[in-house]
Amino acid sequence: MDVDDGEAKLAKAPTPVTIVTGFLGSGKTTLLKHILSGDHGKRIAVIQNELAAESGIEAPGTTGVTGPNGEVFADWVELANGCVCCSVRDDLVSALEVLVKREGFDSILIETTGLADPGPLASIFWLDDALDSALQLDAIVTVVDSKYCMQHLDEEKKPGEANECARQIAFADRIIMNKTDLVPAGDLEKLLQRVRSINPEAPLQQAEYSRVALEAIIGVGAFDMEQAASLLASHEREEAGVGAGEHGHGHGHSHEANGHGDCQICEQQDDEKRKLHARHGDRVGTVTMTIAGELDLQKVKEWLGNFLWEEQGRLGMETYRYKGLLSIHGEDRQYVLQGVHDTFELEPGPTKKPSSGAASKLVFIGKSLDDAFFKTQWKALVKQPV
């Protein structure tokens, strides 16, 4: 190999990786079958985190492939359209390293088991140095079974126990509402509202038989710093600017006060929500905030470390996904924050900080997140004038 070849290899863009998650029977495997058999002209590798015989992909027909540590992956399928399918049970990192060495793939898809938390999988791409340069996490795609999703979300959970279905929706960068043809229009609308209440940020696409355009799940760039910064910069969210005595709930009804001056309908709906949360145990939602002023970078790092690694558990909160575009004191460019569970990146981004009216935009998605707590805590991170 000459010097030019070596430089070209070093300059090669990392291969995007998409994590496909969803509850049992949601249609993940059907989605992958469409991709593996499609005439899209792309060479895609699919890794199933369970045995192919159990998950529905055709049985392997090739000899084993040896991994970097001598392990043998027997379940590799070479398909006619140039795609590759592999089934693994445990050593996902080794399987990914095999694909990195083979090269030539346009994209890699990882299908999780039905009850899997996609967070630890996503963290691999930040924590494993061998994968960090060759692969880049592209997006987490959640396939939702529209017929049974509400039933799963309504399952009673023990105190402190996560609702897996709600958690998978919360993690998503893209949501595919599958089997919409099996749900009456009125029920579907209620389900869409429920899903939106858990994750209002992820673009949502309705589907039948898991048929969606390849572009809907590949090349999303959800973890790309430039795209994340651009999305947050353009996604202006006005904090409620409602006058005294008015409600900012957006319920779409007129407000009739009871004897205490409170809206009876709002009071009844809030009470129903409290009962719903107590019964379901999911309480998964989003905190979105805009913090005026410039943040103190050291305080931000200390807060993130302290909250994510120590305090959130004590406070009964669980953070799934979060992102932010931060205006940092003394820095010309805004910083981009991206994180999954307790693993995060905070780096200078591509956008310049405004010369006046600096502010930071943040989105946290998780379980039992306290809106007032986050806003108070982050306002305290603003750099005060000397």
Highest mean pLDDT among 118-122, 133-137, 310-314, 351-355: 310-314
The answer to whether 134 touches 98, Cβ cutoff 8 Å, is: no
Tell me the sheet residues that pair with 366: 285, 319
Greater model confidence, 125 or 144: 144
Burial of 375 (0-12, 13-18, 19+ CB in 10 A): middle
pLDDT of residue 232: 62
CB atoms within 10 A of CB 31: 24
Residue that has been written with the tokens 């005060």 in this structure = 384
Whether 84 has a pLDDT exceeding 80, the answer reads no
C-alpha–C-alpha distance, residues 288 and 284, integer Å: 13
User: What does the pLDDT look like over 331-374, one tens digit per residue?
Assistant: 999 999 999 989 899 999 888 888 788 899 999 999 989 999 99
The answer to whether 146 touches 178, Cβ cutoff 8 Å, is: yes
Q: What is the pTM of this model?
A: 0.74
The per-residue pLDDT of the chain, averaged, comes to 76
Helix (H), strand (E) at residue 95? helix 92-102
Compute and round to an integer the Cα radius of gyration of the chain.
23
Closest by Cα among 138, 3, 108, 137 to 45: 108
Span of 93-107, 313-327, 349-363 with lowest mean pLDDT: 93-107
Indicate the pLDDT class of residue 78, thresholds 50, 70 and 90: low
CB atoms within 10 A of CB 238: 6
User: What does the pLDDT look like over 159-189, one tens digit per residue?
Assistant: 777 788 999 999 999 999 999 999 999 999 9
Q: What is the largest CA-CA distance in the chain?
A: 84
Whether 72 has a pLDDT exceeding 60, the answer reads no
C-alpha–C-alpha distance, residues 302 and 313, integer Å: 17
Contacts of residue 249, defined as CB under 8 A and 6 or more positions apart, other chains included, come to 266
C-alpha–C-alpha distance, residues 121 and 144, integer Å: 19
Greater model confidence, 148 or 254: 148
